[in-house]
Every structure is written in C-alpha cells, then in structure tokens.
C-alpha cells in the first residue's frame, strides 16, 4: 500500500468518525446524563463544560438567548400539547412567530429532571397533573451564565426534597413536584423523546418549585 493511499485512507476514516459523532450526538443528547463522568466538576451546574460542538446542537443560536423582559402569556401544559407542529424546521432556523413569545405556566408538575452533560442544559419533563402516566412536555434551562442562579436554585430546591441533581445524577422523580415556569416557546425536532408528547418546549426557561 502506497504512502499516498494510506494518507487518503486516514483522511477518510477521520471524516467518517467526525460525521458519526455529529450524527450520533443529537440522538444521545436526550440521555446526555450518561456522559456526566466527562465533566470535571459535575456538582457545580454553573461550571458545566459543553462537550458537543455548537454545530451539533439543533438550532443552537435560537435556543441560547435571554428571556425578554415582557409580560408573559398565561398557558398550561394541556394547551401547549394542542399546538400544531411544523413538519420540518431547518437546523439553523431563527425564532419566528410563537417562538418569540414568553409564556408562564403557573401550575405544572415536574416529573423528570437531569443535566445533559453533552450540552450542559438542564432538561425537564413536566405534565399538567402529578399522575406519572400523564402526557409530558420538555422545558430546558440553558448553560448560559445568565441562568446560573436559576440552575443553582432548582438544584437546591430539589435537594430539600431529597433529590440529587448534577451532571452525574438525575432522572425520574419518585413523586412529581409542583412547579412554576417562565420561558420562551421553542419547537424542537423529531427524535426519541420517550413519554414526551410534543415537539414544543419552553426553552430557555426558568423553573421554580412551589
């Protein structure tokens, strides 16, 4: 085998590896907690270091924004579950329409919460009732520094209920907890979402336990 051919083979394998990572990361990102061992300071939610590149994060720029200081619209999980979904949204699409609006959910129940160790967002599943079988939606608090206090407050509140949240611990709560949420609407893409019943999320969002 000639040196030139070996070089081309190495380039091919490298490109194939990169492509595999870019394709795989969005798929596993919903269970990114599995990669918590890669975080240098897993207990400190404000020092979480995103592992996946921004380009691998669906609509990254649209998600990582501050929540506008405007009066939020009152809504419920039940109403959001009825919102129509777009068949396809480009991975670099900016926010439009409903996604530019801030919403407030005064009464919901936190069913599942974890830190996605790949992108460092705190991902939560909420429902309209505390029933474990009730339909759920996603809300997420980003890694961005402006949400540091919100992440720490949620972590401290959960600790008071005996639930540990960090880059290595999280998941299904033994019993759903009532929460209050303020955030921007965001339409995600279709992927393995478990018991989640809609592509619509509140992301970014600030979640507070009642």
What tens-digit pLDDT sequence spans the chain (210 residues)?
565 555 555 555 544 444 444 444 444 444 566 777 878 888 999 999 999 999 999 999 999 999 999 999 999 999 999 999 999 999 999 999 999 999 999 999 999 999 998 899 999 999 999 999 999 999 999 999 999 999 999 999 999 999 999 999 999 999 999 999 999 999 999 876 678 999 999 999 999 999
Structural domain count of the chain? 1
pTM of the predicted model, to two decimals?
0.83
> Could you tell me which residues are beta bridge partners of residue 110?
126, 177
CA distances from 101 to 49, 94, 104, 152, 187 (A): 29, 13, 10, 25, 12
Tokens 């336990």, located at residue: 209
- State the Cα–Cα distance between residues 28 and 35, nearest whole angstrom: 10
Domain extent at residue 53: 3-209
| Residue 169: DSSP 8-state | B
Please check whether residue 52 is in contact with residue 118, taking contact to mean a CB–CB distance below 8 angstroms.
yes
């Amino acid at each position: 085998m000639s040196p030139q051919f070996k070089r081309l083979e190495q380039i091919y394998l490298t490109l194939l590896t990169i492509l595999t990572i870019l394709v795989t990361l969005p798929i596993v990102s919903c269970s990114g907690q599995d990669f918590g061992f890669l975080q240098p300071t897993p207990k400190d939610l404000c020092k979480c270091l995103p592992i996946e590149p921004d380009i691998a994060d669906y609509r990254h720029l649209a998600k990582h924004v501050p929540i506008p200081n405007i009066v939020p619209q009152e809504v419920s999980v039940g109403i959001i579950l009825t919102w129509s979904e777009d068949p396809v949204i480009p991975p670099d699409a900016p926010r439009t329409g409903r996604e530019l609006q801030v919403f407030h959910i005064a009464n919901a129940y936190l069913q599942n919460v974890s830190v996605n160790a790949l992108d460092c967002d705190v991902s939560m599943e909420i429902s309209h009732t505390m029933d474990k079988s009730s339909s759920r939606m996603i809300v997420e608090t980003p890694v961005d520094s402006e949400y540091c206090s919100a992440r720490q407050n949620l972590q401290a509140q959960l600790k008071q209920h005996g639930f540990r949240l960090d880059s290595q611990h999280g998941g299904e709560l033994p019993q759903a907890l009532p929460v209050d949420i303020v955030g921007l609407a965001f339409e995600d893409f279709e992927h393995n979402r478990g018991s989640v019943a809609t592509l619509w999320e509140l992301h970014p969002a600030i979640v507070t336990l009642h």
